[in-house]
Amino acid sequence: MTIRLRNSVTATSTDYGLVLLDETGGEYWNLNPTGASVVTAVLDGDTPDQAARSLAEEHHIDLDTASADVRDLLSQLGSAGLIDWVPA
């Protein structure tokens, strides 16, 4: 399963992370550099598990914590209507 931004959502990198703009509702979300790296990784084709492993290695945290954080972030983005899960 892959993840993509919905058609009405644009992403822009900033000095402070990533901004996601929902052009339909005019709302935007600021992601810090860690959230930005996770979202960028999954949009580039990594699975959430791969993104969690990278997060754990980069920030020296345990894999369970990283996995929970990645799932939570993606769940929040899904609930906000920003991303879609696409079957592989």
So where are the chain's domains? 2-80
The pLDDT, as a whole number, for residue 25 is: 86
Instruction: Identify the CA nearest to 42 among candidates 87, 5, 79, 16.
Output: 5
How sure is the predictor about 85, in pLDDT bands with cuts at 50, 70 and 90? confident
pLDDT at 88 over 70: no
pTM above 0.85, yes or no: yes
pLDDT tens for each residue of 43-52: 999 999 999 9
Query: What single letter denotes the amino acid at residue 28?
Result: Y
Domain boundaries 2-80, CATH class: mainly alpha
Average pLDDT, the chain: 94
Q: Can you tell me the distance from the alpha carbon of 87 to that of 3, in angstroms, rounded to the nearest whole number? A: 9
Distances from the Cα of 44 to the Cαs of 38, 53, 64, 84, in angstroms? Answer: 10, 15, 22, 14
